[in-house]
Amino acid sequence: MAKPSPDSKTPYLLILPYFVLYFAFGLFPILFSLFISFTSWNGFSTMTFVGVANYVRLFFHDAAFYKALYNTALVMVCALPLSIVLGLLLAAMLKDYFDRSRNVFQLINFLPYITTPVAIGILFQILFDWKAGAVNSILLAVGIVKAPIYWLGHPWPARAVVVLLLVWQGFGYMMVIFLAGLSTIPAELYEAAKIDGAKWRDTFFRITVPMLRPVMTFVLTTGIIVGFRLFDEPQLLFSGEGEPIGGPDHAVETVVMTFYQAAFRDFSFGYGAAIAYGLFIVIFFFSFVAMRIVNRGNDYGT
Amino acid sequence: MAPRRYRAIPVYAAVVLVSLAAFFPFYAMLMMSTYVSEQLFTGVKLLPGAFLLQNLKTILAIHYLHFYANSLVVAATHTVAAVFISALTGFAFAKYPFRHKKLLFYFILGSLMVPPQLGLVGFVVEMKFLGIVNSLFPLILPGIANAFGVFWMTQYIAAAVPTEILESAKMDGCTALRLFLQIVLPIIRPALVTIFLLFFLWSWNNYLTPLVIISREALYTVPLAISMIGSEYRTDYAARILALAVSTIPVLILFAAGSKQLIRGLTAGSIKG
């Protein structure tokens, strides 16, 4: 632009609304939460300053927090690679083998991602109901199982249902991101490989996967960040009467569920805020490690 | 490159199978919403039943339309404001030099790492203090300043809007706001569509914020309502399933209309950077 003098007010006026709104409804609550995390407070009575007591309790005396972290990490470690691989394969296949019908398949596989997570939780609760659920009916009819499986009543089957739910919900999103990434790979690479007589499988592993490494980093780190926020689906999956929070033996209770329970059910605002900050520290650590791992692979790879 | 014909059959089969699996829960949901609850316990329903209208009456009787209107108001106002602010801020970062620009931009990027629940406790207290907990504002306001949106718009505007056009318009005495409204916005329409779809989706599906803030039933949004119908009308499974199915309609329409744009927009914007 015709170099307006750097002290011109215009750009500052343009970015002002963003920063005002961010400070008012983004940063202020975050800092305020940090302050609250050093207190004991139920939101109504007087606030008592307790120093780092909430954090000491969280990191050294709260087995439930670690169990929730374990649960969240476990379903993520299973679901994230599965949905990435499925999304990548589907994207590569759609790009190379489908032309006119590509849009239809894109939309169908993207549907789960746009469905309200609350609805997904309830829907899976109904589909996996041990008496009336469609899944057991089909398994029984085909003869894969002899007796109905009590999916949501035992810890490991319940976890499996959550993983399945997350893969179903997430692979279409991965597919769309990978399709976007695929379209930036120069076609000449594939043409050259084809002249050399490479098969689809070869080009997939030798060209597609290496070239998509930046996209992979992107989906992996955002996947971890989003994965640790898991709340709606498992919360609703076990929302029926008489069902324990977080499923059988708290097997699928996630960190955000623990946070919600502490802050907004038990009204321990101070402790709840500390859980949120504890989770933030963990997320930061994990996404840092993930980024390091993916980037290190890159150094050796090329 | 594709080795078509017979060799490709396994590939077609795999894609069709995965797509069927992806679609099955939807299909089951649609079918189940056309029966009465008692019938749902008698096996899988693969064909439509005859009770769609009856179930529709049931969900209308619990003011489902009212919750629907709440959700539409929240998602629409939030999204329009967020897209506008993102584009405006991105315009400044992409096309104007100013002091501390880098620093401010890194500040915005850094805030991307922060999970939204981090400030939730403080936010609830803030809303109570401001006296707006009994309105839809707590659902509209957060996230209007969206770091992802700004980052993305900055990249897009820097690449897509030619600086020469802006310069010549400025020579003619065009103000910054008019530049933005009349020149920049029309050029970046694909990016606006993409980001509108994503913001609308996230707002429409948001559950945790209304769950912890909204207590009056008159202010329920759709996700909150369907989670509550769950406990109050637990016996009427079929009506509940219909409510789930209906909750997806707005985003379904938006994405069906804009799915091509979405992929084109994602390609142009986020990935290259």
Task: Give the pLDDT score at B271.
Answer: 44
- Give me the pLDDT at residue B235, please: 61
What gap in Å lies between CA A153 and CA B95, rounded to an integer? 58
**CA B171/CA A20 separation, integer angstroms:** 31
Residue B2 clears pLDDT 60, i.e. is over it: no
* Domains of chain B by residue range: 52-271
Residues 127-156 of B with CB under 8 A from A: 128, 141-145, 147, 150
CATH of the domain at A82: 1.10.3720.10
On whether residue A213 sits in a domain, the answer given is yes
Domain for residue A237, yes or no? yes
Each residue's pLDDT tens digit, B67-89:
999 999 999 999 999 999 999 99
CB A166 within 8 A of CB A184: no
**CATH number given to B52-271:** 1.10.3720.10
**What are B20-72's pLDDT values in tens digits?**
988 888 888 888 888 877 777 666 777 877 778 888 888 887 788 899 999 99
Distance from CA of A285 to the nearest CA of B (A): 11
The pLDDT tens digits of the residues spanning A134-171 come to 888 888 888 888 888 888 888 898 999 999 999 999 99
Structure tokens of A57? 């309790």
Taking CB atoms and an 8 Å cutoff, what residues of chain A touch B41?
131-132
What is the reported pLDDT for A279?
92
In this prediction, residue A66 carries a pLDDT of 94
> Which residue is listed with tokens 């050029």?
B187
ipTM of the predicted structure? 0.88
B117/A contact by beta carbon, under 8 A:
yes
Q: Convert the pLDDT of each residue in A23-55 to its tens digit.
A: 999 999 999 999 999 999 988 888 889 989 999
Minimal-distance CA residue of chain A relative to B138: A25
- Angle formed by the axes of helices A10-22 and B64-95, nearest 10°: 140
Give the per-residue pLDDT at A293.
Answer: 77
- What are A173-204's pLDDT values in tens digits? 999 889 888 888 888 888 888 888 888 888 88
* Centroid of chain to Cα B28: 24
Smallest CA–CA distance from B254 into chain A, residue: A114
Q: Kindly tell me if the per-residue pLDDT of B228 is higher than 90.
A: no
A115 interaction partners in chain B (CB closer than 8 Å): 26, 248, 251
Domain total in chain A: 1
For chains A and B, count residue pairs whose Cβ atoms are closer than 8 Å. Answer: 298
Residues in chain A closer than 8 A to B201 (CB atoms): 114
Exposure on the CB side of residue A74, measured as CA atoms within 13 A: 18
Q: Which residue of B has its CA nearest to A218?
A: B271
Domain extent, residue A281, equals 56-301
The predicted structure's pLDDT at residue B80? 97
Residue B241 pLDDT greater than 90, yes or no:
no
With a cut of 60, say whether residue B234 has pLDDT above it: no
Q: Higher model confidence: residue A296 or residue A274?
A: A274
Contact (CB, 8 A) for A92 and A182: yes
d(CA B78, CA B139): 8
- pLDDT tier, B233 (very low <50, low <70, confident <90, very high otherwise): low
Question: What pLDDT sits at residue A56?
Answer: 93
Q: Is residue A33 part of a domain?
A: no
Nearest-5° Cα angle at B86, B82 to B89:
140
User: Does residue A222 or residue A295 have the better pLDDT?
Assistant: A222
Which residues in chain B have their CB less than 8 angstroms from residue A7's CB? 99
Quick check: A1 and B95 in contact, CB under 8 A? yes
Q: Decide if A18 and B141 are in contact by the 8 Å CB cutoff.
A: no
B222 token code pair: 């759709």
Residues of chain B contacting A110 with CB distance shorter than 8 Å: 255, 259
HEC assignment per residue over chain B: CCCCHHHHHHHHHHHHHHHHHHHHHHHHHHHHCCCCHHHHCCCCCCCCCCCHHHHHHHHHHCCHHHHHHHHHHHHHHHHHHHHHHHHHHHHHHHHCCCCCHHHHHHHHHHHCCCCHHHHHHHHHHHHHHHCCCCCCHHHHCCCCCCHHHHHHHHHHHHHHCCHHHHHHHHHCCCCHHHHHHHHHHHHCHHHHHHHHHHHHHHHHHCCHHHHHHCCCHHHCCHHHHHHHHHHHCCCCHHHHHHHHHHHCHHHHHHHHHHHHHHHHHHHHHHHCC
Calculate the dihedral angle through the C-alpha atoms of A217, A220, A221, A227, rounding to the nearest 10 degrees.
Answer: 170
> Where residue A302 falls among pLDDT bands split at 50, 70, 90?
very low
